[in-house]
Every structure is written in C-alpha cells, then in structure tokens.
Structure 1
Amino acid sequence: MQPLQQQNAGYDRAITVFSPDGRLFQVEYAREAVKRGTTSLGLKSKEGVVLIVDKRTVSRLVEAKSIEKIFQIDNHIGAATSGLVADARALIERARIESQINRITYNEPILVGGLAKKICDMKQMYTQNGGVRPFGSALIIGGVNGEEVKLFETDPSGALIEYKATAIGSGVQAAMDVFEERYEDDISLEDAINLGLDALYEATEGRTTAQSVEIAVIEVDTQSYRKLSDDEVSEYVEALLERNAEEEEEESEEEAEEAVEEEADETAEDEASEETSEDVVDENVTEESVGEKDSEE
C-alpha cells in the first residue's frame, strides 16, 4: 500500500479535486495566506462596531497612508482585511457594487448579513470552478442594521460566521485569547476600542505604534462609517502604551518582591540547617564525653 503522502500527491494541483481524506488543498493554502497576513480585529458593542488593523510596514521608506486594510463598503458598513492585498481589493470592489445594486433596486441600504453572504457566495464559486483559484484573503465585515449591530467573518472557502469579537491574520490566537477572557456583551464603544488595542498589542508582541494602527467605527446613533483621525488614534495608542508600561512595572515589582521572599526563605533554610548541624555536633561531643567518663570509671 502506498504511503499517505504519495496518495495525496497531485491533489493540491487542481482546485476542483478532493483528496482521499476529503480536503481541498488549494483552499487550505489560501487560509495559510491569511494566517501570514497582518492582524485585523472586529468587535461589537452596544453602541456600534469597531474595526482595528495592524498595517505595519516592512520598510521605513513606505508611506504608511498608502497601505489600506480597512475599507468603507457603504454608509453603514465597513470591512477589515488580512491576507493577499490584491485579492482583498477585488472583494471590496465586489462588495461595494453589490451594496449599490441593492440600494438602486430596492431603494434601501443592504443588510450587513446579506452583503456578507453575497461575498461568501462569490468566494465559494472560486473553490469549485476550473481555471480559477480561491481568494487568499479573509474579511471582517461589520455594520449596523438600524438598531442591530452585526459582525461577520468570511473565510477563503466561502464559510460565514457571525461573531461578537473576532480576529484574522498572524496574531489571531493571541487576540482571541484576550477576547475570550475580557469581552463582555454590554461593552461600550470606547471600551471596545481599548480592548481591541489590548488584543492587537498582544498579537503584535508589543510592537504597536500610532503609525501602524488604523481604527474605524460604525455607530448606531449616526448609522455611518467613520475612520478615526491620526490624532484620535495617537491618543488611544498612547493610553494603551501607558497601561502596559504600568502593568509591566507592577509585574517587575511583584517579581522583585518574590525574589526577595525566596532569598529570605533560602537564608532561613540555610540558618536552620546550620543550627541543626551545630546541634548534631554538640550531641556527638556530649556522647563522646559521656563515653570517655564511662571508660575511666
């Protein structure tokens, strides 16, 4: 019988062919492209949706403003991307077209979930047609339907899941750990921004700066998409860095106190062992003295 690797050989060359264990390797490779991208986050709050992205540049010569990871789809919908930038741009353009078609046809804004499903339908078609490949990009689509706040994540396979808070990209695990621990259903928009930045800080291992962060919000009150200005982002990031500096200082103090306590415990143990040794020596001396007296008698 042939080894499993030989059995699977060639199944990753055609998008429309399943492997013997039911996998589409090209779709999995597209997911890997997303995992290699920078981290993007989305959170729901009772006041709206928050989208945050890390647009860290690979060179100081790159103009940070030229890197787009957050896009406006319609007045009430925005999207954050991770993965292949060109693929994401194509999906964003398609989403904008679908939104305008709905507005012209029905004279009303498209539902956030309806738009997300249309994008996922398009993604799914690119997993079963010959001569094409899956989109190597994932989207977090957020928006408001009247008083309802919606947040969806789309997968390269065309899968669609609604979330309260989610992340995509290279730092997804660290960010989701923060969300799992600290997210609350009644979180305010302000707290959601701070929580998202805390998650991004963990995802980037502390390499978060005002120049590398982009934030957008879609509020229930205004029913409109708004990207935060550079000054607003700087204020949030400065507060983030101050919080983490204080936490690191507290941790350092606790570690120093623990080190002092451990040293004190070790010193006490050493003194106790020395006293025990002295007692043993005294007992031995006493026994020898008694033995000598007995022998003299």
Structure 2
Amino acid sequence: MAGGYDRAITVFNPEGRLLQVEYALTATKQSAICFGMKCIDGVILGARKGVTSPLMEEAEKVFKIDEHIGAVFAGLRSDGRVLVARGRLEAQINRLTFGEPITVEALANRIAEYEQVHTQYAGSRPFGVLMIIGGVDTKPRLMMTHLSGFYLPYKAYAVGMGSQTARQVFEEEYRDDMNIDDGMKLAIKAVQKAAEKKVPPDDLEIAVIRVEDKKFTRLTPEEVKKYFRAAGY
C-alpha cells in the first residue's frame, strides 16, 4: 500500500521512491508506440498515429523542434505538447543568444531540467511523458528524456504500448553500420512485432533528419508504403 506517501510528489516513501513519479510513468505505457533510431547517415523518428475512430482526423505525432531536430513522445498528449513547446522555445533562445543551432544533447538536458523541477515542488505534478529527441548536429544523435528529470543517449529506443518488445528487437538486430534504409526496415519490423495485429502503413508517421542536409523531413504516405514493402509488410 502507498500509506499516504503518494499524496504529495515531494514525499519519499520508506523505500526511497517518489510514488507520484512512478504513477506518471504508468501513463506512458498507455499510449501508442513511438521510436527513434540513430543511423550512419541520419536519424529516424516515428510513431503510430493511434486513430481510434473513423470520425477522428489524424493528429501530428512526430514533432519538429528545430530545423535539425525532431521529437516523439508517449504518454499524456497535453503534457507532451507542453514539452514540445518548451523544446522549441529553448532552441530559439539558443539561436538568439549564441547565434547557432542548439545541439541535441543540450536540448535534451534543458527539457530534462524542466521536467525535474516538476517532481520537486508542491502545486505541480510530474509530466506523464517519455520523450525521444533525435537530430543531427556534428553527427546523428538520439536522446531519451525521462519524466523524473534525466536523459540518456541511445542508438535506438522505443516507448509506449508494446515498447518492451520493440526494444528487444532493436537489441537483437541493431547494427552500428545501419543506414536509414536499413534502419527503416528494422523499425517497421519492431513496430509490427510489438503490435497485437498487423500495422498498416497509414497508421505510422515517420520523419528523418539526414546528415547531408540536417533538415527535419516528414515522409509522405507513399514513401512510408515503400519502406513497408521493402520490410516485407
């Protein structure tokens, strides 16, 4: 039992855990899977659209943060949009202050710091979001920011429903020499393995940032279908 230790986010229980942070983490497991992958020639970011009704219009799931950086998240959509807006603000502050684009790691650090503050003060609550940030500065980079206030670099990562299965596929089959075409096939395979039934191409939104131009580029539905065919799905 929580024993009252979950009534405030600033109170540790006798085991040294912040229960509200753990509850927030549970929220990230309820949403559609999203993923990121670092390749030798760029970064891939993708997410299932999770359209649950024929009356529902598609909403953006892969977000442009700056010209060379994108992000996806799993968890509460409202919380995620706040962090996306914060990321865009930090990117513009960096450009105005230093006259250069923000690095992927610096952006992840600032978002993680912002998240950490919300685990520390009464009157706020933790963000119910795990975010994957990917981009190209001096080279391709991929970071995961945790709602408790830290970030970690990854070669490939997935969050959301079924993400444990997807991460297992990445761990078994990811190679350091993979290009974007190879990475796309592996990412699609991981999403299919993580799903309860076959995922159609129109249920996956994908963007890439390539080393050659350092530009966030959203794939068209036809391009996504092409990669699905190449992956055998």
Band of TM-score, shorter chain: over 0.9
Counterpart of 1:290 in structure 2 is none
SS at match of 1:138: strand
Unpaired runs of 5+ residues, structure 2, are none
Counterpart of 2:174 in structure 1 is 183
SS at match of 1:35: coil
Q: Deviations over 1:73-130 (max 9, x none)?
A: 0000000111100100000000000000000111000010000000000000000011
Distance 1:189 1:237 in 2: 13
Q: Deviations over 1:193-244 (max 9, x none)?
A: 111011011111343112210000001100111000111112222444xx25
What are the residue-to-residue correspondences of 1:164-203 with 2, within 5 Å? 164-203=155-194
Could you list the runs of 4 or more consecutive aligned residues of structure 1 that deviate by over 4 angstroms after TM superposition? none
Distance 2:65 2:105 in 1: 13
Asked if 1:236 corresponds to 2:230, the answer is no
- Larger Rg computed on CA atoms: 1
Counterpart of 1:112 in structure 2 is 104
Question: How many residues in Structure 1 have an aligned counterpart in Structure 2?
Answer: 233
Counterpart of 1:85 in structure 2 is 77
Distance 2:202 2:52 in 1: 13
Structure 1 stretch 114-123 or stretch 205-214: which is displaced more? 205-214
Unpaired runs of 5+ residues, structure 1, are 245-297
Q: RCO (CA 8 Å, sep 6+): is it higher in 1 or 2?
A: 2
Distance 1:121 1:134 in 2: 12
Q: Deviations over 1:149-202 (max 9, x none)?
A: 110001111121100000101111110111111100010111011110110111
Q: Which residue, 126, 150, 157 being the options, matches 2:148? A: 157
Query: For residue 168 of structure 1, what is the amino acid of its counterpart?
Result: V
Distance 2:219 2:169 in 1: 23
1:53 shift after superposition = 0.7
What TM-score results when the alignment is normalised by the length of structure 2? 0.97
Distance 1:72 1:182 in 2: 28
Query: For residue 56 of structure 1, what is the amino acid of its counterpart?
Result: G
Counterpart of 1:30 in structure 2 is 24
Q: Which residue, 143, 147, 160 being the options, matches 2:135? A: 143
Is the 1:69–1:82 contact (alpha carbons within 8 Å) kept by the matching residues of 2? no
